[in-house]
Amino acid sequence: MSKTIMKENIEKAQVEIEAKESAVKNGRMRQDFHFMPQTGWLNDPNGLVYYKGQYHYFYQFYPYAGFWGSVHWGHAVSSDMLRWKHLPPALAPSEAYDDHYLGGCFSGSAIEYNEKLYLMYTGVTNNGDGLEQCQCIAWSEDGINFEKYEGNPVIAAPEGVPKDFFRDPKVWCHRDTFYMVCGTKKEDKGQALLYKSKDMIHWEYFNVLAESRGEWGYMWECPDFYPLGDKYVLMFSPMGAQERKCVYLVGDFDYRTGKFFYNISGEIDWGLDYYAPQSFLAPDGRRIITGWANGWEWMPHWKDWGPMYREGWSGFFALPREVILLEDNTLSFKPIHELEQLRSDPGTENNLLIGEGKYQVKNTGCSCEIKMLINLEKTTSRKVKLELRENNTRKAVVLFDFQKAEMCFDRTCADGWSTGIARSEINLKNKQYLDIHIFIDRSSIEVFSNNYQNNMTCNVFSDETQTNNYIVPENGELYIEKLETWNIENVLKVMK
């Protein structure tokens, strides 16, 4: 009976998607080159995996409206992470452990095992004593049609862990054993719990992989754990850690004890709209992450859930990024090289000396890519402002303050919808150059700088008249050794 219920719920969701897709796809806020749902609501990426020759994106999904609701798993496949084919939802609420209207099939991950694709996800329900979260299994022979394990849930919240704070399993395999890390809290301090299994079905608690001492918030959402070079990386999105939204820790892991010892910490993205990134391995060995270009704590600032909601959809992913381990064991997050296929109408200017006033960046518009290399030794200005998506009355401003060694993204005058200012420190000590790389889409701006270590993703819901981009030095001259631009508007809108 339960198989029939999930199938019926997926078919019902697919009917809703197909009925609304044509109206939604022409929405003014729809992105040109970011992944987004056909219709309805999207949040966390789930189950990112390369399986049988294709990349699979699963994602938190409510197909019936552009706001959060009973959670399904949306599903799409691609051969290049640019052109996506949407498939029917992979999971829908259908069982006693995942069928509550404020619950459903919460976040999780995917892994190939015995030629099948296994999904591990958090089921959320309410049996009259508040929300309860547990870990569940589903699998597929073809990577499209999934069946839930009849013995679910496979892991319930352990003693001492709040039943409504036990979620987001990320699974991997080491030698002949499966391991899973999930997020929780204890005494209002975030934790990542570690489990292990020989068959993906029978799990035993192993250890506390890592935990907050008070500096990383009261709950760790969407933890991810993976090897990189000779180190291990733990990522998570801490709740209650103020501006820290996507933390990474780098250190060493002992499979005998199940304990992670870290000595490096950093932020994946300092912007206002980046949350719950998940990693996966590309077939060439690259570790790639994708994150939700939004976040819970600042979404209420939008009026009526923002302009996307009014178009019958909400949410998209930030651009995929390759995770790179640097010599000092810090991380950089570089947009994947596949994005270069989107470039058209290239423009290059060399050895630009820009004084007081506004310098208009040529060959840009609503969707474009901009790269610049600033020579700090030949620059006398104390600050430089990048005025992006400008039309005289509205603009987003990215400020680089060379004296304070600070980067600031201010979108308070950008669109009439968004609020908030994001800040981060940039390491300029003993550096001759500062690199800046920007991707501008219809509803977002992603800024990468300082060897892709200081990154900011912010949603900016501009209109069609906001097509100008300017460089504005302050108190001196700015020396740009190389300025490159690419117009993306003339390329096929590959993700629609």
Instruction: Summarize pLDDT for 294-332 with one digit per residue, the tens.
Output: 987 655 545 556 789 889 999 999 999 999 999 999 999
Is residue 213 very low, low, confident or very high in pLDDT (cuts 50, 70, 90)?
Answer: confident
**Domains identified in the chain and CATH numbers:** 1-335 (2.115.10.20), 345-488 (2.60.120.560)
Rounded CA gap, 341 and 379, in Å? Answer: 33
Choose, from 32, 44, 224, 415, the residue flagged as catalytic.
44
User: Is 361 within 8 Å of 349 (Cβ atoms)?
Assistant: no
Q: Is 44 a catalytic residue?
A: yes
Is pLDDT larger for residue 241 or for residue 314? 314
Q: Specify the pLDDT at position 200.
A: 98
What is the average pLDDT across 347-359? 95
- Radius of gyration for the chain, computed over Cα atoms and rounded to the nearest angstrom: 23
Q: What is the mean pLDDT of residues 67-78?
A: 96
- Between the alpha carbon of residue 170 and those of residues 39, 71, 121, 202, 304, the distances in Å are 27, 18, 9, 16, 33
Q: Which of 360, 372, 383 is nearest to 467 (CA)?
A: 360
pLDDT of the residue at 265 = 96
pLDDT band at 92 (very low <50, low <70, confident <90, very high): very high
pLDDT at 16: 97
Which residue has better confidence, 112 or 127? 112
The better pLDDT of the pair 2, 270 is held by 270
Quote the pLDDT of residue 297: 65
Could you tell me which of 331, 305, 436 has the C-alpha nearest to residue 373?
436
Taking 90 as the threshold, does the pLDDT of residue 271 lie above it?
Answer: yes
Lowest mean pLDDT among 368-372, 389-393, 432-436: 389-393
pTM (2 decimals)? 0.96
Q: Which of 45-59, 84-98, 240-254, 311-325 has the lowest mean pLDDT?
A: 240-254
For 454, other C-beta atoms within 10 Å of its C-beta total: 24
pLDDT in tens, 456-468: 999 999 888 999 9
Give pLDDT tens digits for 422-446. Answer: 999 999 999 999 999 999 999 999 9
CB 116 within 8 Å of CB 55: no
Gap between the Cα atoms of 191 and 185, Å rounded: 5
pLDDT digits (tens, 9 = 90+) for 478-490: 999 999 999 997 7
> What is the token pair recorded at 142?
């073809």
Count how many Cα atoms sit within 13 Å of the Cα of residue 160 in the half-sphere of its side chain: 6
Across 28-43, average pLDDT: 95
pLDDT recorded at residue 492: 55
What pLDDT shows up at residue 305? 64
The answer on pLDDT for 496 being more than 70 is: no
Mean pLDDT along residues 206-224: 94
Residue-averaged pLDDT of the chain: 94
> What's the rounded Cα separation, in Å, for the pair 496 and 18?
14
pLDDT above 80 (res 1): no
In this prediction, residue 463 carries a pLDDT of 87
Task: State residue 494's pLDDT score.
Answer: 45
Q: What is the pLDDT of residue 307?
A: 85
Instruction: Find the mean pLDDT for residues 214-240.
Output: 95
Q: What are the distances in angstroms from CA 241 to CA 185, 188, 454, 460?
A: 13, 12, 18, 24
